[in-house]
Amino acid sequence: MKSKLMGIVIGIMLLTTFFVVAQPSETLTTKTSPHEPTIASPSVDVPVYEVGDQWVYKVDNVSFEYAQGTQSIQLFLSTPQLPLEVTSTLGDYYTLSYGTKMNGSININSNRGNGPVNISITFKSADISGDLSVKKSDLSLKDISLSLDKQRCTFNIIQQPYLPLPNFLKKIPTKLTLNLETNCSPPITLLNFPLNTETFWNLSATNFSLDGKIQNFWFNVLNFINKVAAILGIDLFPPEIGALLPTIDIGTALTTFIGRNVFQIPAFPAAFVCLNTENITVPAGTYNAYNVTLGGGAGRYYYAPAAGKIIKLTGDLTDIIPYIHYVNLELLSTNFS
């Protein structure tokens, strides 16, 4: 029992770096682009969004990895659809909201001196929702929020140093409630307006922070057991773990386990090169789009003025944006005009 609970604690405390993808809970009514693409001009300015504008993306694969010392997190996500809808245009930022389902897996490895902990976590059709804050002047990303309410996941405790476990206790179903807040300072962007062909631009350095709360039935049980054990003079959990219960503060947990909750994306000179425009066909239609190469060819995306967004993005972004190993997405539909 003790090792089962300890496995859950370590796994969920490290579960704080995932982002949003998956299929929406209901079908969205959107319009596709005309069959004849509008030719992009040599220079195009930033688009203007209105409340109700929406884009739906297919995300075949997104993988993240963070490693420091003896601790690492790997995240793999995929989705038939990811919907984004403009819900506010107040101030200097647009708010884009989403409500969807998520499928994915997370692999966690940690060794804090007691021995290795190796845990995998899987999600199937977990309902998620949240908002993105996007700067109007350049479409840079400032904030991301994500919420899960009592969503089911499965912990597979592959390796842990505390007590021998029978096989039936190595795979644990449980439910999580999570509120996650991510902030990029300064906001991060892949675009450079006015966008021109035969140009290049840099990726500016930015810091992103992770904060929020995690709740789980087991955390309440753990907190009660730990307090009873303390009364009896028994040290059930290390003090730094006991101090996080029963509602885990993500910023505090990250600082406890890996020493910080703020991560830096360094500057990357000439990260983006736009050479030309070309006709690109995605499920949403055929668009004349700006062809932008990332990191000397590691990745590529296409921005279509007629869609007001990137319509296709693929490649390994590790050299440009650390922690993001692979992305493959394309636009399914939009009502932007």
Q: What is the DSSP code (8-state) at residue 239?
A: H
| Measured torsion, CA atoms of residues 174, 255, 265, 89, in degrees rounded to the nearest 10 | 60
* Contacting residues for 57 by C-beta, under 8 A, at least 6 apart: 81, 82, 83, 84, 329, 330, 331, 332
What does the alpha-carbon distance between residue 300 and residue 293 come to, in Å, rounded to a whole number? 5
What does the alpha-carbon distance between residue 53 and residue 335 come to, in Å, rounded to a whole number? 6
pLDDT score for 81: 85
31-68 in b/e burial notation, b at 16+ Cβ within 10 A? Answer: ebbeeebeebeeebebbebeeebbbbbbbeebbbbbee
Q: How many of the other CB atoms lie within 10 Å of CB of 74?
A: 17
What does the alpha-carbon distance between residue 235 and residue 240 come to, in Å, rounded to a whole number? 12
What does the alpha-carbon distance between residue 70 and residue 170 come to, in Å, rounded to a whole number? 22
Contact 218, 326 (CB under 8 A): no
Q: Which two tokens stand for residue 273?
A: 């090169």
Q: Which two tokens stand for residue 87?
A: 């819900």
In the chain, the percentage of residues whose pLDDT exceeds 70 is: 83
CA-based nearest residue to 108, from 147, 65, 151: 65
Contact 40, 195 (CB under 8 A): no
pLDDT tens, position by position, for the chain (337 residues)?
Answer: 444 444 344 344 334 323 322 333 333 333 344 434 544 456 799 999 999 999 999 887 677 777 777 777 777 777 778 899 999 999 999 999 998 887 888 888 878 777 787 888 788 888 889 999 999 999 999 999 989 899 888 878 888 776 566 777 678 788 888 898 999 999 988 899 999 998 999 888 899 898 999 888 878 888 898 899 888 888 777 788 788 899 989 899 888 877 788 988 888 888 899 989 999 999 999 999 999 998 777 789 999 999 999 999 987 766 666 566 677 889 999 999 8
Domains: count for the chain: 1
Q: Which two tokens stand for residue 176?
A: 């999580």
**What pTM, to 2 d.p., does this model score?**
0.79
pLDDT score for 22: 30
Q: Where are the alpha helices (DSSP H) in the chain?
A: 2-14, 217-231, 239-242, 250-258
Q: Which two tokens stand for residue 53?
A: 């504008």
pLDDT score for 4: 40
What does the alpha-carbon distance between residue 223 and residue 212 come to, in Å, rounded to a whole number? 19
| Measured torsion, CA atoms of residues 220, 148, 160, 229, in degrees rounded to the nearest 10 | -10
Total H helices, total E strands in the chain: 4, 17
Q: Which two tokens stand for residue 282?
A: 């995605």
pLDDT score for 320: 60
Q: Which domain holds residue 59?
A: 2-334
Contact 290, 308 (CB under 8 A): no
pLDDT score for 24: 33
Strands 71-88 and 93-110: antiparallel
pLDDT score for 203: 85
